[in-house]
Structure 1
Amino acid sequence: MASPEVAMLPVSTDVLVVGAGPTGLATALTLARRGIEVTVLDQLAAPPTTSRAAVVHAYTLEVLDRIGAAAPLVAQGMRSPRFTVRDRDRVLLTVPFHELPSRFPYALLISQSVTEAVLTAQLAAHGVRVRRPSRLTGLSTTGGGVLARVDGAELRARYVVGADGLHSTVRQAAGIGFTGPRDEESFVLADVRVDSALPGDEVALFLARSGPLIWAPLPGGVVRLVAAVASAPPDPAAAYLQALLDERGPARRPDRVTEVLWGSRFRVHHLIADTFRAGSVLLAGDAGHVHSPAGGQGMNLGICDAVALGTAVADVLDGGPESLLDDYSDGQRPMAEDVLSFAAGLTRLATVPPAHRPARDVLIRLLGALPPARRKVALRLSGLSHRQPASG
């Protein structure tokens, strides 16, 4: 039986947002706060309870603060004052987030599912609920915008936002190319409980010959593990995850996995859309760009896309020039290219051949000894390097 939200699908809306992950929700919230009529749909019957992203960076929190969503997130997350790059027991680089020039001088450690729940609640407070399960099956351009086909019904929208991920129906229907290197990476991820001597408030990136391992603590004594692997099992067990930690993690005082809460695998391409705008159709988040999780930038970039896009669309609907939408595409796409390059660089750094690892480690430690270099890395990881002077 269809949900009441699907049964009451409107005939028309100002903006149709397809996809109710963090990007779609943040786009819709930005619009709703401006009084724009927005309809949000998602093909899943319920929000996922597991998710890949676990870090919200300082610049993203500044962006979320513009739409009233930072404070409730901070209240539920854990603040991390630093990020370390390690080679087994050696700390090669410490990135000081506590010195960031921001109202949020930390990385917020919080599960993506909690981030989505907070945004969903904020959106509901503005009278907007996600229509699910609901599927977009086609788009066609009309004189006044776009005619969308949703579950066999027609919905007219001034604008359509594709926030529907890697296999975006919106992007494909709009005929927007999605290009990049043909290679892809395989990752395993899991939320676990561990006996560990590592700091409980610090994200660590372990560089290993076989690939990087990200160790990220979450509220409630949980640790998120993400590792690039040659071939990941669909349901990683404790023994598999223990072997990863034994191979890549601390050696003198090894971590011991005591419980696996959940685990999964995913594959990542490095792809970017040819444009983020085709007429009345706009893209944000993974519909426009996908890349390695190294550096924890994916969801963060998607949320920044969302607020920039929502603001531009609201400005146009309030009488501003259509060129604002081109400004969005022209501004966010280079940012996405930069993040893709950065994530790929971190992966390459982790997987240098054994003969070159001593030189790599020395260079990273030299970098960490220079305060200006540490500050530059902190600004880059936190996203503050993308902050426009006017928003500071």
Structure 2
Amino acid sequence: MERIPVLIAGAGPTGLTLAIELARRGIPFLLADRRAGDPIGSRGKGLQPRTLEVFDDLGVLDAVLDTGAPYPPMRAYAGGAVVWEGRMHEPADPTPDVPHPSLLMLPQWRTEQVLRDRLRELGGRIEAGTELTAFEQDAGGVTVTLRGPDGAARRTRAEYLVGADGGHSLVRTTLGVPFAGDTFESERLLIGDVTTGDVDRVHWHIWSEPATQRLGAGLCPLPGTDAYQFTAQPPEDETPEMSLAYFQRLLDDARGGPGVTLTSLTWSSLYRVNIRMAERFRVGRVFLAGDAAHVHSPAGGQGLNTGVQDAYNLGWKLAGVLAGAPEALLDTYEEERLPVAAGVLGLSTALLDKGRRGDADAHERGEETTQLLLSYRGGSLADIGARAGDRAPDAPCRTADGRPGRLFDVLRGPHVTVLVLDGDGGATAFLPAGDPLVRVRTVGAAGDLVDDGGHIRAAYGDKGVVVIRPDGYIGAVTGDPAEAAGYLARLGHPRRALTAQAR
């Protein structure tokens, strides 16, 4: 029987992010996806600022920025007349601590393609057309049954199983984990990727009922393509058809007549408003992530982004435990991510309700949707220092030899970063030496990082030791280097040797 440390079911954005996290740490895995072909469909098209920071760390940000674009301004019509123009997200300028402050639009198939390319660069691969059909776990691992493209079944033994297999997750169902919430069968949204030459690609075009603000139809240009994402609410008494002719009829009805001709339909889906969350994210050696753990309304663009960050949180912890870190580290996945998912679910539901009521500001999105404010404060990995658990801010700085850079350049990679701030040069004597996954950087006039702009001091203070986790969150802020060393030991990095020099 084949044996593997981690088996991931589902190669959407969540499963791909987790696979990349394991691949760059040298952890073998099997990534099984029941889809046989390349990803298709625009689906979740919004990438939040925090996700862009995650993608920077994973090494895919440049590819995302090459084809992504800011959200276009919205233009609403009554028939053929423009009745309103505005934006869902106001563009923001980068700041020293937030280099990517604005939401980026990219069709989901392209996001998945970028992640797949990165996984291949790291030597990983996807077993396409391979579906998980059953599993059972015991104290030592999980025995999984897979069905391959030829229909043949095989059994594989994994130390851990991660279900990233979507809202209808077989992993969650097999575990018997309740998926509490609501599905609103009467609230349906028809989505498809279409082409037309009859509207500009500068605006997001929307036709709605003036009295109720109920969406009639929308055409949003998808960057890096010649396609638009078509959206429409079909009549409640109709069974929608997944055909170009049916989409055209809905558009004509919304416009009050012909005038915009759809020329192709390459992908379509009927979405029912579904708001649910799993009661647990971990059962023994099995974990749930992404849509398998929580499904959202599309309002606010939170679903894909939350799934990516589930995987980003879980990946380094799985790798750490497989390398010898305490098993308790894995308990912090559910501890940290379940409350975050609940909060994000509440936010997207509140935005959906504003749209239902027809609030004047229902289309607007604020800082709360960027996911930059999400925190793990108060958790068992965030109990040293007032800022522990918060996102680690970026900061322009320069290296000791004068090269300009940013703190995010220092954080990029699978390691823990320890910042030793001015006045604590002796702190390095208490920190791990010879551990490639712990990098100590001194900040000061004679340090590894020179903060002549004061941006590191503004973000982190001017004395003490700051431990930044591999997922870019502050783990500990302390004036006691021994306390920082103790925190590192909890992450699986004991002090194996002493050094007076920064590594």
Is residue 110 of structure 1 aligned with residue 106 of structure 2?
yes
Matching residue of 2:69: 79
Quote the Cα distance in structure 2 between the aligned partners of 1:232 and 1:100. 46
- Greater C-alpha Rg: 2
Structure 2 SS opposite 1:96 = coil
The number of aligned residues is: 361
Once the two structures are overlaid, the 10-residue window that deviates more, 85-94 or 104-113, is 85-94
Q: Could you say which residue in structure 1 is the equivalent of 2:3?
A: 12
- Do 2:42 and 2:229's aligned partners in 1 also have CA atoms closer than 8 Å? no
CA distance in 2, matches of 1:210, 1:245: 17
1:289 aligns with 2:283: no
The answer to whether the Cα contact below 8 Å between 2:13 and 2:112 also exists between their aligned partners in 1 is yes
Distance 2:356 2:7 in 1: 42
How big is each residue's C-alpha offset from its partner over 1:79-113, in whole Å with a ceiling of 9 and x where there is no partner?
Answer: 21666596862246652133365322433322211
- The superposition leaves residues 317-353 of structure 1 with CA deviations (integer Å, 9 ceiling, x where unpaired) of 233233332222122222222232232223322232x
2:121 alignment counterpart? 125
Q: CA 1:191 to 1:227, structure 2 compared with 1: closer, same or farther past 3 Å?
A: same
Does the 8 A contact of 1:17 with 1:38 survive in 2? Answer: yes
Change (3 A) 1:381 1:193: farther
| Residues 227-251 of structure 1, C-alpha deviations (whole Å, 9 max, x = no match) | 344356231435634644763x7x9
Structure 1 residue 234 and structure 2 residue 241: aligned? yes
Give the gaps of 5 or more residues in structure 2: 148-152, 376-389, 395-503
- Structure 2 partner of 1:30: 21
Using a 3 Å threshold, how does the CA distance of structure 1 residues 130 and 94 change in structure 2: closer, same or farther?
Answer: closer
What does 1:148-227 correspond to in 2, within 5 Å?
148-151=144-147, 152-184=153-185, 185-194=187-196, 200=201, 209=212, 211-212=214-215, 215-218=219-222, 219-227=224-232
2:45 matches 1:54? yes
CA distance in 2, matches of 1:390, 1:205: 38
Return the structure number with greater helix share: 1
Question: Which range moves more in the overlay, 157-166 or 118-127?
Answer: 118-127
Distance across 1 between alignment mates of 2:302 and 2:46: 8
TM-score normalized by the length of structure 2: 0.64
Distance in structure 1 (CA, Å) of the matches to 2:324 and 2:221: 46
Question: Is 2:93 the partner of 1:99?
Answer: yes
1:247-306 per-position Cα deviation (integer Å, ceiling 9, x unaligned): 3x7x9xx98244233342323321111111111111111111112222222212211111
Tell me the SS of whatever aligns to 2:158: strand
Alignment match, 2:36 = 45
Q: Write the letter of the residue equivalent to 2:7.
A: L
Return closer, same or farther for 1:234/1:386 CA change in 2, 3 Å cut-off.
Answer: farther
Which stretch shifts more, 55-64 or 158-167?
55-64
Report SS of the residue matched to 1:158.
strand
For residues 259 and 318 of structure 2, the distance between their equivalents in structure 1, rounded to whole angstroms, comes to: 48
Q: Deviations over 1:7-62 (max 9, x none)?
A: xxx71111100011111111111111111111111122223323412222221111
Greater RCO (CA < 8 Å, at least 6 residues apart): 1
Q: Is the 8 A contact 1:217 1:223 kept in 2?
A: yes
Kept after mapping to 2: 8 A contact 1:232/1:265: no
2:391 aligned with 1:389: yes
Deviates more, 1:41-50 or 1:205-214: 205-214
Identity %: 32
CA distance in 2, matches of 1:380, 1:83: 20
Residue 194 to residue 344, structure 1, CA distance change in 2 (3 Å): farther
Judge conservation of contact 1:84–1:95 (CA < 8 Å) in 2: no
Q: Which residue identity is paired with 1:14?
A: P
Secondary structure at the aligned position of 1:50 is classed as: coil
Helix, strand or coil: the match of 2:307? helix
Residue 17 and residue 255 in structure 1: after superposition, are their counterparts in 2 closer, same or farther (change >3 A)? Answer: farther
Secondary structure of the corresponding residue to residue 188 of structure 1: strand
Aligned-residue CA RMSD in angstroms? 3.1
User: Does the C-alpha gap of structure 1 residues 34 and 391 become closer, same or farther in structure 2, counting only changes over 3 Å?
Assistant: farther
| Contact 1:242 1:257 (8 Å CA) reproduced | no
For structure 1, list consecutive stretches of 5 or more residues without a partner in the other structure: 1-9, 369-373
- Indicate which of 328, 332, 335 corresponds to 1:327: 332
Most deviating of 339-348 and 131-140: 339-348
CA 1:223–1:205 in 2, change beyond 3 Å: closer, same or farther? same
In structure 1, the residue corresponding to 2:263 is in which secondary structure? strand
Structure 2 letter corresponding to 1:323: A
Q: Distance in 2 between matches of 1:314 and 1:237?
A: 47
Q: Is the 8 A contact 1:83 1:96 kept in 2?
A: no
Contact 2:21–2:312 (Cα < 8 Å) also in 1: yes
> Could you tell me which amino acid in structure 1 is paired with residue 41 of structure 2?
T
